[in-house]
Amino acid sequence: MSQKQYTASSIQSLEGIEHVRLRPSMYIGDVGARGLHHLVYEVVDNSIDEALAGYCDTIAVTIHEGNSITVTDNGRGIPVDFHEKEQKSALEVVMTKIGAGGKFDKDSYKVSGGLHGVGVSCVNALSTDMITTVHRDGKVYRQKYQKGKAMADVEEIGKSDKKGTEQFFQPDSSIFNELVYSYDTLASRLRELSFLNRGIEITLTDERVKNEEGGSRTETFYSEGGLKEFVEHIDENREGIMENVICMEGERDDIPVEVAMRYNTSFTENLHSYVNNINTHEGGTHLAGFRRALTRTLKKYADDLGIPQKEKVEVTGDDFREGLTAVVSVKVMEPQFEGQTKTKLGNSEVSGAVDKIVGEMLSNFLEENPGEARKIVQKVVLAAKARQAAKKAREMVQRKSPMGGSGLPGKLSDCSSKDPQESEIFLVEGDSAGGTAKQGRDRHFQAILPLRGKILNVEKSMQHKVYDNEEIKNIYTALGVSVGTEEDSKALNLTKLRYHKIVIMTDADIDGSHISTLILTFFFRYMKELIENGYVYIASPPLYLLKKGNKRVYAWNEKEREEKTLEMSSDGKGVEIQRYKGLGEMNPEQLWETTLNPENRMMKQVTIDNAVEADSVFSMLMGDEVPPRREFIEKNAIYANIDA
């Protein structure tokens, strides 16, 4: 058998664009919904960079009928003149060359969010069609592309008294496995950008949805107050302990710093940080500088008043952040990103700049507002006392059984496999459903933990109450995770996590949805690392069993029930419909067949696309305000059976 020759001709040299198409996930994260939306963010970031440079104040995003996108701005317009080195128009260079653009020239852009991204050329590479229209120097220019390659030279198509760039693109269906844009996902990012860049008007139009007047759904995001309004938006479902948002703004070592913060009655630390508009959800040096300044300044203020001695309590950094909502935004000329997802700022010089600005301005605020300062200190003292109680409760959670043995909860029906990668645990509502699940599961890799009733609403509970709760203790113990480090009392250690699929499985009714939301709230507030690592899922048991003669068909929603009923009754009206209100109504074989068997089941993986929006939703769902919760449920529920 002749062996294929391995020579120089065997080495494939991919040009930039081909490499993007071959390995899209390297550039945009994935080829699902997240990557699809990332295309829009990349184009919008270019417009925002024009705004940061002072040349743009209006941006418009349009979702067209076929899920194509147009982004328009009133910036300077991409240059179209001849590029000597590349021997083609500068526009074509920007649109078709990886790593080309004005962001690398400090005279063009002082700071840029676009540098962190992959650039408009990658959007071009991953689109079947892209059209760039430039209004510049009194003229209109246009160039068309397919899959990242120019179809013709840049052409002048008319005159114009406007300026700016219009980008139209159609994502490539052979690349993406999700092609439908979510209005809400785009709206939350554009709203965020409007808060981070005050004075810029950003409009989102969805031509797929018509309003009552027959026009397209349109929303405009504009913020005059910037981060102050951002904190008010984040905290709209929480009760503040102070009337005003504390706003701090300054520049140190050529680093502009903006901070807005306010304390509320919750028990959650809620910090959001940004570098050049990029959400650094892993934190970094700017967040470290903020925390250091906050702790030092408030501690000095409390010590000067002699409060820790009077209250006989030791105060730590954690205590100063409980019930704090804050947004930290910095602009850095050459950001260095670290971390698993490249969203952790590494520039050491930023830490000192943030520390100095926050330290000085917070000191001034405390001196000038003694009433609000005292409320903050009282909140901190309360947090310190609660933390000490929580530490004792947490130690009880992690202590092994005094009787010896594994120390696992008695109600846990464990799986025989010790390999976390193949092991699954189902958190099941009640003993009845738990019994059915235990009989129907595959004992080799599926564990069942029944939960009694509704677990604690952690949104309204102090830490020690959370760790004292029996059902929550069982979850910690069953999962094998430990909690609390010297730096962060809530940090989760996943090294001994026993299952890589943690599945919430509740009844398909209002009570089941409530229990599911309570568990998700607990995970989001106390075990966010599980969600971030992709370990949390929600089971989808069927809502209906349709029977006709010997034929049995399951339906997971109302639409499916209608379609399958119609199909089954086509040869005469005689379909028996059984509505499953609880998992216990299924026999073990049915539960295995529909919900537990990896071959057939449908499970939703829980992800966090936007931490600000997720936080807002949980605080609204689990808070005291009824009207926003009712509105959310009516808008999002598959079924809405809402009483007063």
Strand partners, 273: 328
The sign of the CA dihedral 220, 223, 227, 228 is negative
Catalytic residues: 429, 507, 509, 511
The identity of residue 633, as a single letter, is I
Q: Which helix (H) or strand (E) holds 136?
A: strand 127-136
Question: Which of 589, 580, 518, 588 shows the shortest CA–CA distance to 543?
Answer: 580
Question: Which of 509, 639, 504, 514 shows the shortest CA–CA distance to 581?
Answer: 509
CB atoms within 10 A of CB 233: 15
Question: Which of 509, 393, 521, 503 shows the shortest CA–CA distance to 457?
Answer: 521
Beta-sheet strands, E only, within 422-487: 424-429, 446-451, 482-483
CB atoms within 10 A of CB 450: 22
Q: Do the bridges between strand 155-159 and strand 139-146 make them parallel or antiparallel, or are there none, so unpaired? A: antiparallel
d(CA 165, CA 76): 8
CB atoms within 10 A of CB 197: 20
Beta-sheet strands, E only, within 333-435: 337-338, 344-345, 424-429
- Output phi, psi for 201, to 5 deg: -95, 120
d(CA 27, CA 23): 8
- SS3 for 495-563, per residue? CCCCCCEEEEECCCCHHHHHHHHHHHHHHHHHCHHHHHCCCEEEECCCCEEEEECCEEEEECCHHHHHH
Burial of residue 1, with CB atoms counted within 10 A of its CB: 0-12 exposed, 13-18 middle, 19 or more buried:
exposed
Strand partners, 274: 279, 329
